[in-house]
Every structure is written in structure tokens, then in C-alpha cells.
Amino acid sequence: MSDAASPPASTPKPATASEWKADLARALGIVAVACALGLATNALSSKPMPLLDPKGPGALPEPGPRILGIELMEELRTNPQGILMIDARSDELLAEGAPVGAVRMTPETLVEDLRQKKPLFDAARLLVIVCDSDKCPRGDDIAMQLMQFGYATVKVFDGGWPAYKDSGLGIQGPPK
């Protein structure tokens, strides 16, 4: 083929139907190999993640029991030492302050947080989780995990951080 008949370097050559089919086949092959690698490494792992378990990881947390601002206020009035506030909000809300005495916790760091702050987590205390809003699964996730660790009295603050701010309950600087 002569140079004159060749497409110029700047002219795009549209993919033909057969090229599209080849691309699709290769893409499916790549995905299949990658999925096989994922399933194989999970199966060979020392702690494989359970698959096809409706109650396993990846199950939506059940909505945790709620506590209203007025109820929390009453609890704080009668037994302030019996309550541990847990700050489960996202990082960008930290600048707005935090519930007084709150311990910072996320679902990802829960196990490590429990280990580091164990003395605070007295099983007799009421654990109150404050999340970004009422549509914040992190709060329910933490509540579910804490109950699985044996903490019987865990509640999620109803309405989340906006409701907390409006409740008149104490706000302090970012938790340590």
C-alpha cells in the first residue's frame, strides 16, 4: 500500500464492527480473569469473606434504637456519668464542634477504637451515637457492631447532628 493510500496520521480510523466485537470479547475476558483472581484470593485467604450470606458483611444494618433529644437531656440530668456520647459524623462536620465528651468512632475504626478507649466503654453506660443526619447508615452500623460486641444499651440520636445542634445539648470543640 502506498503512502498516498494510507490514512494520514491525524485522521482517526473508526473501529470496525469486528474490532468492536474483539474489544468486547477482550473486555469480558479481562473482567472474567479479574473476578476469578478475586474469588480465588478470597478462597485462599486466611480470613475469607463469607459469600452469599444474607446476614454477612454487606448486609444493611438494621435501624438502631433511637433516642430523642429531650430523652437524652433527661438522662444527662439524672445520670451524666452513665452516658457515653459517640461521634460518628463524617470528617467535614468536625469543624462545627462535637457533642460534649464525645468519643470519635467510625465503622472502619471501631475495633481499634474499642481497644484504645476500653475504659470508657463501660457495659453499664448508655452509648449514644450521633451521626450526620437521620439518613446516615454509619450510625446504625456502629450501633449494630457495638451490640454484637455485647453492649446492650446503644442508641442512635434521633435526627442526627442537625437535631443535636437544635436540642440545646452541649457542643464542644472537635473530639480527641
Longest dimension (CA), the chain: 93
Cβ atoms 15, 23 nearer than 8 A = yes
What mask, x for binding other proteins by CB under 8 A, covers residues 45 to 84?
----xxxxxxxxxxxxx-----------------------
From 76, 126, 131, 154, residue interacting with other proteins (rule: CB under 8 A): 131
| Amino acid sitting at position 54 | P
Given 41, 79, 116, 172, the residue binding other proteins (CB under 8 A): 41
Q: Does 35 bind other proteins (CB under 8 A)?
A: yes
Alpha-carbon Rg for the chain, nearest whole angstrom, is 26
Whose CA is closest to 138, among 171, 109, 97? 109
94 versus 171: smaller Cβ distance to other proteins = 94
Report the residue number, 38 or 80, with the smaller CB distance to other proteins.
38
- Cell 469480558 sits at which residue? 28
Q: State in angstroms the smallest separation of the CB of 27 from other proteins.
A: 4
Residue type at position 97 = G
Contact residue for other proteins among 75, 97, 106, 158 (CB under 8 A): 106
- Structure-block grid coordinates of residue 162: 442537625
Give the type of residue at 168: G
Which of these segments, 68-76, 115-123, 131-139, 165-173, binds other proteins (CB under 8 A)? 131-139
Gap between the Cα atoms of 68 and 101, Å rounded: 18
Measured CA angle at 109 (ends 171, 59), to 5 deg: 105
* Nearest CB to other proteins, comparing residues 59 and 73: 59
Closer CB to other proteins, 38 or 168, in the complex: 38
Closest C-alpha among 121, 85, 83, 86 to residue 106: 86
Residues that bind other proteins (CB under 8 A): 1, 6-7, 9, 11-15, 19, 23-24, 26-27, 29-31, 33-35, 37-39, 41-42, 49-61, 90-92, 106-108, 131-133, 135-138, 141, 160
